[in-house]
Chains A and B, each alone.
Chain A
Amino acid sequence: MSVIYVLLAISIVVAVIFFAAFIVSVKNGQYDDSYTPSVRMLFEDELVKTTTTTKNKKNPTK
C-alpha cells in the first residue's frame, strides 16, 4: 500500500469538506444578501458601549 493512496484520500476528503461547506453556506442564505452583513459588522463596537447604559433605562411599554 503506497503512501499515494493516503495522500489522495486526504486531498479528496479536504476538498469534499470545503465543497460541503460551500453547499451549506448557500443553503443558509449567505449569498442572498452580501451587503448588509458587511455594514452590520462595523456597528458591533458601538453597540457594546450603548447597551451597557440602556439596560437600566429600558422601558418595556414604550
Chain B
Amino acid sequence: MDSLKCYHCGDECGTPPVHFDNKDFCCNGCKTVYEIFSSNDLSYYYDLQTSAGTTPNLVEGKYNFLDDDSIIEKLVEFNDGNLQIINLYIPHIHCSSCIWVLENLNKLHGSVVSSYVDFPKKTVRITFKSQYLSLKELVILLTKIGYEPYISLDDYGKTKKRTDNNLLYKVGVAGFAFGNVMFLSFPEYFQVNGFWIDQYKTLFRWLMFAFSLPVVFYAAQDYFTSAFKGIRSKILNIDVPIALGIIVLFMRSTIEIIFDWGSGFFDSLTGLVFFLLLGKFFQQKTYSFLSFERDYKSYFPIAITRIGKNGKEENAQVYDIKKGDQLLIRNQELIPVDGILISGNAQIDYSFVTGESEPVNLNSGDKVFAGGKQLSGSIEIGVLKTISQSYLTQLWSNSVFQKNKSDNFQTLTDSIGRRFTVAVLSIAILATGFWLFYDSTKALNVFTAVLIIACPCAIALAAPFTLGNLLRIFGKNKFYLKDTTTIEQLAQIDTAIFDKTGTITTSKKSTVSYEGLELTSDEESLLKNTLRASNHPLSRTLYNILQEQDIMTLDDYQEYLGKGIEASKESSHIKIGSASFVGKTLENNLEKTSVHISANNIYKGRFVFQNEYREGVSRIFKSMSKKMDVSILSGDNNGEKSRLELLLPKGTPLFFNQQPEDKLNFIKSLQSQGKKVMMVGDGLNDAGALAQSDVGIAISENVNVFSPACDGIMDASKFKELYKYVLASKKAMKIIKLSFMLSLAYNIAGLYFAVTGQLQPVIAAILMPLSSISVVVFTTGATNIMGRKLK
C-alpha cells in the first residue's frame, strides 16, 4: 500500500490524498495551513522541520468568552485601548520551527505588532492592535495554525509572578567581592614586611574591608536569618555554624586591621560566602515548563455559556455563576460546578474526579458534579452550588494544600549540622580554656581560629552539589523533581501507593477480545468498512486491530453521537455501539468498556477493551514489594481485580472505589503509623493524596500536559525505572555521607593549626577552597558515574 506522508503533519495520507502544489496532504486542514504559510512566504517553516504541524482541531464557540471585555481585561498584561499585550501558554511549542512561526505572526496578520517566544516556558508574548484584531480572533488564528493556546481559570486575574533573581544578585555580589579581595590580599601572601608593603598595606586592608561589607550584610543575609530562625525554634541547623563562622571571620578580621595585628581573613570570608551561594544556586534547578503547584484551576475553564432569563446565551465567568443559573455545556466542555441535569444526552467522563475512565450516562433530573467532562453533544444544567462549594473543589480547602512539606523535613545536612555545632563549640571552649591557662594572650586568637576553620563550608556544599546534580540527571531521564529535598525524602520511603487508571495502565486501550457469536466473513468486512468511516477513538482502535478487508462503498452510513454507528450494504445491516443502541439489555458486565455489534437486528456479541498495563508493572512491583509495602488505591470499580491479582505479587493490597478524600485519609492513616509514604498518581482525583504523601509523584503521558500538584512529575515511558530512581536517591545519600567524612578530614587538619594557635590567613585561604573544591569534585563525579548507570 502507499505510505504517503502528509507534507504538513506527517500523518499517513488517507486514500485518496489531497494534492496541492505538488505535495500530498492527509486532509484539507493541513492543506489550508500549508496554503496560509506558503501564501505568506512562511514556507521556510517546512525547511526547519518536516511535518512540523499537527491537525488543528477547533471546537465551534469554544472561545466565545473572549468577546467579554471584563475577561479580556483580566487576561492581558497591558491594554490601552489600541494595543494589547498578552502572554499565552501554548503547550504545543516543541521545536525551533515553532519559535520561528510564532515570532513571524506579524506576517500572517498585519495587526500583530510583535511576538516573542519563551521556549522553556512554552509561552508567547504577543503585542497586537486590538481595534483591528480582537483577542478572540488572535486565539483562533493561533489555533488554526496548530498552536492552540491553553487558557484556564488559573490565568484569570493572576498576579504576574516575577522570577526571583535575588540569589543571582547575591552570587554576583559575592563573586565580585571575592575576586577583588583575592587580588588585594595577594601582596601580603608573599611579603610579610618591607618598605613597600608597610606603606600600602593599610590601604589594601581597608579596601578589602570595604569589599567584604556587602558580602556580609547583603549576600550572606539568608544564613543569618536561617540560623536565627533555627535557634528560635531550638534547632541547630547547618546555618548556625556557618553564620557563626561568618560573624567571627568578619569581627576578627576587622579588629586585626584596626589594631594592625594582621591582614585579616577577608579572602576566606568572601570565598566562603561565594562558594556557599554557588552551591545554593546549583541546587536550584527549575523546570520552567512544568508546574508543581497546579490545582483544579488549571483544568477549569474561565467562562461558560449561561442561558439568560430570556433564553439568550451569554458568557459568564465561572466565579459569577450563582445557584439557580442555567448553563449550557457543549461537547468536550468541562462542567465547572455541581448541578442538576435539565436536558440533553449526558455522557459524562468523571476521570478527573474519580479516576473511573468509563463515562456515565445520565437522565434529566440526575445530579452532575464539577470536574465532569461532557462527551456527546450539548446539555443544559441547573446550578446547585457555586464553584468554590462544589464537591471536587472542596478538596482544596483541606489544610493539606496550605502547608509546605519541606518546611517540616529535617535534611541530612541539618541533622549532621546539629552534632557538628556541638562538637565545634566544645572544641573551641576546651582549646580556649587550655590556652587561658597556658598563654592567655593567645586564648581569643585560638577561640576565633577554631570557629573560622571549622566553618562547615564543605559540609554545606556536599548536599547541594550531590542532590543538585542528581536532580539534573533525573531531569535528563524524564523524571522531574520539585527540589532537592524531594530526593532526600524519596530515599527514606518505605511505603509506595499506586493509583490504577492512568498510573499503572496506559491511556490507550488496545487489548481487545471478542465475546459472542462468530461473525461471518461478510459481516466482518462490513464491520471493518463501517469502522473505517468513524472517528471515534474506540472505532479507530478496533479498526486497526481487525483483519484487513477489501474496501467497499457503503450504501448508508449514520453516526449517532455518544451511541454508536449504523450502516448498511445491499441486504446486510449492521449496528455498532453501546448495548442499548444495538438493542441489548444490559447485563451485570457494566464495568468493562465494550463495543456491541448487531447484524440484521440480531445481537452478535461484543468487543471488550481492556486497560493495558504499562510495561514492567509486574517487575517493578515485584522488586519494590521486597523492600517496602506496596498497594493499589484506585478510584475505579473492581472490574480489573482478578487481572491485577495475576499481575502483581501475591498479597498486594488492592483498594477500589476510593474517593479523593478517602485516598487522602488513607495516606494520613499510614503516616500516623510512622510510615514514609510515596504516592504515585495521575489525575486530579489523586491531588489530595499526592499533597498528603511524603513524596507525591505524578505520572504523565506527556509532561507538557497538566498534572496535579505534586513533588515530582515522571514521564510515563520511564515508569518501569521508578524503583531504580528510588535506589539512586538512596545511593546519593551515601555519597553525601562519604563527602562529609572527606570534609571532616580537612576540618581536623585545619583544627590542628587553629588549636595550636598558628592559623595564618594564607592557610585558611588555601584550606577552605581546597576542601570545598574536592567535595564538589567528589560529589559531582560520583553522581555522574551513578547517573550513567541509570540510562
User: Which residues of A line the B interface, CB within 8 A?
Assistant: 2, 4, 8, 11-12, 15, 18-19, 22-23, 26-27, 29, 31-36, 39-40, 42-43, 46-47, 50, 53-54, 57-62
Contact = CB atoms under 8 A, between A and B. Distances in A.
A29 B165 CA distance: 9
Contacts, number: 71
B637 interface: no
B180 A33 contact: no
Contacts of B39: 57
Contacts of B116: 36
A15 B117 CA distance: 34
Contacts of A47: 104
A43 B118 CA distance: 15
B107 to A, nearest CB: 6
A42 B116 CA distance: 15
B591 interface: no
Nearest to B121: A33
Contacts of A29: 163
Contacts of B172: 19, 22-23, 26
A61 B141 CA distance: 12
A7 to B, nearest CB: 11
Nearest to B173: A19
B41 A54 contact: yes
A60 B110 CA distance: 5
Contacts of B207: 8, 12
B111 interface: yes
B107 A33 contact: no
B206 to A, nearest CB: 12
Nearest to B288: A33
A12 B107 CA distance: 49
B493 to A, nearest CB: 33
B100 A43 contact: yes
Interface in B80-118: 96, 99-100, 103-104, 107, 109-111, 116-118
A31 B168 contact: yes
Interface in B141-189: 163, 165, 168-169, 172-173, 176, 179-180, 183
Given A43-B103, A60-B110, 12 more contacts: A4-B200, A8-B203, A8-B207, A12-B180, A36-B99, A36-B117, A36-B118, A39-B99, A40-B99, A43-B99, A50-B42, A50-B44
A59 B110 CA distance: 7
Interface of B: 39-42, 44, 96, 99-100, 103-104, 107, 109-111, 116-121, 132, 163, 165, 168-169, 172-173, 176, 179-180, 183, 200, 203, 207
A53 B41 contact: yes
A36 B165 contact: no
A33 B176 contact: no
B120 A58 contact: no
A32 B117 CA distance: 12
Nearest 6 pairs between A and B by C-beta? A60-B110, A36-B119, A19-B176, A33-B118, A54-B41, A39-B96
Nearest to A59: B110
Contacts of A50: 41-42, 44
B111 A35 contact: no
A26 B96 CA distance: 25
Contacts of A27: 165
Contacts of A36: 99, 116-120
B119 A11 contact: no
Given A39-B119, A50-B42, A62 B109 contact: yes
Most buried by B among A4, A31, A33, A58: A33
Given A35-B119, A50-B44, A62-B109, A11 B183 contact: yes
A57 to B, nearest CB: 7
Contacts of A43: 99-100, 103
A15 B175 CA distance: 11
Contacts of A19: 172-173, 176
Nearest to B165: A26
A23 B120 contact: no
A36 to B, nearest CB: 4
Contact of A54 (B40, B117, B173, B176): B40
A50 B96 CA distance: 17
A2 B196 CA distance: 11
A17 to B, nearest CB: 11
Contacts of A60: 110-111, 132
A59 B183 CA distance: 62
A37 to B, nearest CB: 9
B134 to A, nearest CB: 13
A32 B173 CA distance: 19
15 contacts: A18-B176, A22-B172, A26-B165, A26-B168, A27-B165, A29-B163, A33-B120, A36-B99, A36-B116, A39-B119, A43-B100, A53-B41, A57-B40, A57-B41, A60-B110
